[in-house]
Amino acid sequence: MSAYKDEDPRIHGIRTKIRVVPNFPQPGIMFQDITTLLLDPKAFKDTIDLFVERFKGKNISVVAGIEARGFIFGPPIALAIGAKFVPLRKPRKLPGEVISEKYTLEYGSDCLEMHVGAVKPHERALVVDDLIATGGTLCAAMNLLGSGAVEREAIVRANRVPLTRANVTKTNHHPFQPLPHTKKERKRQENLLKCHFH
C-alpha cells in the first residue's frame, strides 16, 4: 500500500526494493543500494516506465546519464522517449576532446567530463542518476550541459530540504523529490526546478 493517498502504487514497490546500507562507503553514510531494485524485473521496469510517462512528449532531445548508475537508467529512458544518450563520465574515461566540471560529494570531491559537442545549443536535456545526496554531482552535470538541462531526476533523494532557488544557488544543494507522490506535488516540483545552476 502506498504511503500517500494519491501516490502511484508503483512508487511504493520501487521504494521497498532499495536497500539501505549503514556506514557505507564510510561511517555516517546511509548508502541507498539500487542493485536490489535491479534484481526485481517488475520494480526495474516500473522505474523506467515512470520516467518515460513523465518525460515523453516534453521535447527532450538528450538524456544525460551520470556515471555509473545513471548509465543503467538513462539509455532505456532515452530510447523510449526518442532521445540520444550522453554519458557524463569520471575523469580520463572519454577519448578525444572533453569539457569538465569539478564538484563536491557527500564524502569527497570529483569531476565529470563530457565530449565537446555532445549537446548542441538549445537542446533540451534530462539528467538521470540513481541518487541525489548533496547535489554536487547534479550541479556539475547541469553546468556541463548548460542552459539546455532543464529536467533532472534520480531514483532516490537523500534528504527532504525544500528545493528553492536560494538552496540551489547558495548552498549547491539540490534536494528534490525524484518521484513525486501526487500530481500537485509534481507540479510544485516542476515550478521549483526552473532555476539556473551557474
- Catalytically annotated residue among 7, 15, 67, 106: 106
Q: Which residues contact 27 (CB under 8 A, 6 or more apart)?
A: none
- Catalytically annotated residue among 10, 69, 124, 152: 69
Q: Which of 164, 197, 157 is nearest to 181 (CA)?
A: 157
Q: Does the annotation count 188 as an active-site position?
A: no
Q: Does the annotation count 69 as an active-site position?
A: yes
Cα 196–chain centre separation: 16
* Buried/exposed 165-194: b ≥16 CB within 10 Å, e otherwise: eebbeeebbbbbbbbbbeeeeeeeeeebbe
In sequence order, the β-bridge partners of residue 151 are 126
Would you please indicate which residues are annotated as catalytic (active-site) residues?
A: 69, 106
